[in-house]
């Protein structure tokens, strides 16, 4: 059950970026499972990829192709991750790139492949190849919703964001989609996401913008502590608007702010649709000596199975939060300086339960779907926020039955 997610907003088209979807039967029947995104020549492309050592064949190929050519197409399939598949998987990804290149008349090295689904199963490249010629004839700018639906695996809802902002007296558009529900944890990028804009911005600067936005969004979410083999976040800039974004400009600051907001909304939608989720939990750590120690505390709390199961039970078992903070590995931590809150309710201060705390106050907060754990370390001025979920029976069921 997704928490607080509504139907996709109006997904504004991006001039110079066209999409098509198709049903290839890679794993799922009766639904679209392949997406082709084609971009005009001159489009800038940035990408951030998983750091998992067992990265999937499409990740390897996409990174290689980005280093040698200017991309003209992104090819995505759901249902099969094409990970842990050795040389056969590499060849399957290359074969799909070649067929997509033939379909849209570009070089094979200008196609970037992406896959999501079951790890360790051979990808039937011929199924994807067979639908590409027809897909190339159906490419349109208004297929973002259909694409968001086609890349889903265990997701229960499609995820997308689209915004328009004013820069230089002109309108700039950003539209993006993402998929992800489980196997979510930072180390870039914890999912698949595809974002496009009509901004005019050169590739190296676009890459910097994406990395900055990802650091504050996709690299701040966790469902289960597992980083996928297939994670990628891609950003296309077609340059079709009149807005020029240059290094050091006011427009750059505004563009990065808008891009970060889009990434953050997509990232939080992944958490709100986490596998078996019943709670959306923000873990805010403030007054830290450094940003890193704030993150260390936040992730220790966010990943604690005992904390997460207490939230699923709506049980204000504050001792579990206290214990997680204490084992975060912070040097010279003074427990008497730490305060912990559930929303506005102080649960811990002076090294123990807050004197004003009552079980009824804690229960009131725990009954909510959206909850903030705020931890004040009393050590400095740094603060960081991580977003996570509870851990439910359904999470176990979904992952136990994933291949059946």
| Selection from 92, 47, 38 nearest residue 66 by Cα | 47
Sort residue 390 into left (φ over 0), alpha (ψ -120 to 50) or beta. Answer: beta
List Cβ neighbours of 30 (8 Å cut-off, separation of 6 or more).
23
**How many helical (H) and strand (E) elements, i.e. helices and strands, does the chain have?**
11, 15
**CA–CA distance, 20 with 6 (Å, rounded to integer):** 24
List Cβ neighbours of 216 (8 Å cut-off, separation of 6 or more).
260, 263, 264
Contact yes or no for 46/26 (Cβ under 8 A): no
DSSP code string of 128-155: HHHHHHHHHHT-BTT-HHHHHHHT-SS-
Q: Which entry of 190, 227, 229, 388 is annotated as an active-site residue?
A: 190
Pairing of strands 232-237, 192-197: parallel
Max distance between CA atoms of the chain, in angstroms, equals: 71
DSSP 220: G
| Selection from 206, 192, 195 nearest residue 44 by Cα | 206
Paired tokens of 66: 């980005």
- With H, G, I as helix, E, B as strand and everything else as coil, classify residue 88: helix
**CA–CA distance, 381 with 290 (Å, rounded to integer):** 8
C-alpha angle 263/269/273, rounded to 5°? 150
DSSP code string of 59-82: HHHHHHHHHHS---EEEEEEEE--
Contact yes or no for 346/336 (Cβ under 8 A): no
List Cβ neighbours of 90 (8 Å cut-off, separation of 6 or more).
57, 60, 61
123 prior amide bond cis, ω within 30 = no
190 catalytic per annotation: yes
Looking up tokens 């997308």 gives 160
Contact yes or no for 283/371 (Cβ under 8 A): no
Catalytic residues: 190
């Amino acid at each position: 059950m997704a928490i607080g997610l509504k139907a996709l907003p109006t997904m504004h088209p991006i001039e110079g970026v066209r999409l098509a979807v198709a049903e290839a039967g890679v794993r799922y029947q009766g639904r679209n499972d392949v997406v082709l995104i084609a971009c005009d020549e001159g489009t800038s492309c940035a990408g951030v990829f998983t750091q998992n050592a067992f990265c999937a064949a499409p990740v390897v190929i996409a990174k290689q192709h980005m280093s040698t050519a200017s991309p003209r197409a992104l090819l995505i399939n759901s249902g099969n991750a094409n990970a842990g598949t050795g040389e056969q998987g590499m060849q399957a990804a290359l074969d799909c790139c070649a067929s997509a290149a033939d379909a849209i008349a570009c070089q094979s090295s200008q196609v970037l492949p992406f896959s999501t689904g079951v790890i360790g199963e051979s990808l039937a490249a011929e199924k994807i190849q067979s639908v590409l010629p027809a897909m190339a004839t159906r490419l349109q700018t208004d297929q973002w919703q259909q694409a968001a639906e086609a890349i889903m695996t265990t997701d229960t809802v499609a995820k997308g964001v689209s915004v328009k902002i004013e820069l230089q007296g002109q309108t700039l558009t950003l539209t993006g989609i993402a998929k992800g529900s489980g196997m979510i944890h930072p180390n870039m990028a914890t999912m698949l996401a595809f974002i496009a804009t009509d901004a005019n911005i050169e590739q190296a600067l676009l890459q910097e913008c994406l990395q900055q936005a990802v650091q504050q969004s996709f690299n701040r979410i966790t469902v289960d502590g597992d980083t996928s083999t297939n994670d990628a976040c891609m950003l296309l800039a077609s340059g079709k608007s009149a807005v020029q974004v240059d290094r050091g400009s006011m427009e750059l600051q505004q563009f990065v702010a808008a891009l970060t907001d889009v990434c953050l909304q997509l990232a939080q939608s992944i958490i709100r649709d986490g596998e078996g989720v019943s709670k959306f939990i923000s873990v805010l750590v403030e007054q830290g000596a450094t940003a890193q120690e704030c993150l260390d505390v936040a992730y220790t709390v966010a990943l604690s199975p005992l904390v997460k199961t207490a939230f699923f039970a709506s049980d204000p078992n504050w001792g579990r939060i206290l214990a997680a903070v204490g084992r975060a590995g912070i040097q010279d931590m003074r427990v008497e300086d730490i305060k912990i809150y559930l929303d506005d309710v102080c649960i811990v201060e002076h090294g123990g339960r807050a004197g004003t705390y009552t079980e009824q106050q804690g229960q009131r907060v725990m009954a909510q779907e959206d909850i903030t754990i705020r931890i004040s370390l009393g050590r400095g001025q740094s603060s960081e926020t991580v977003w996570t979920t509870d851990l439910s029976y359904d999470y176990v069921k979904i992952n136990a039955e994933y291949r059946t």
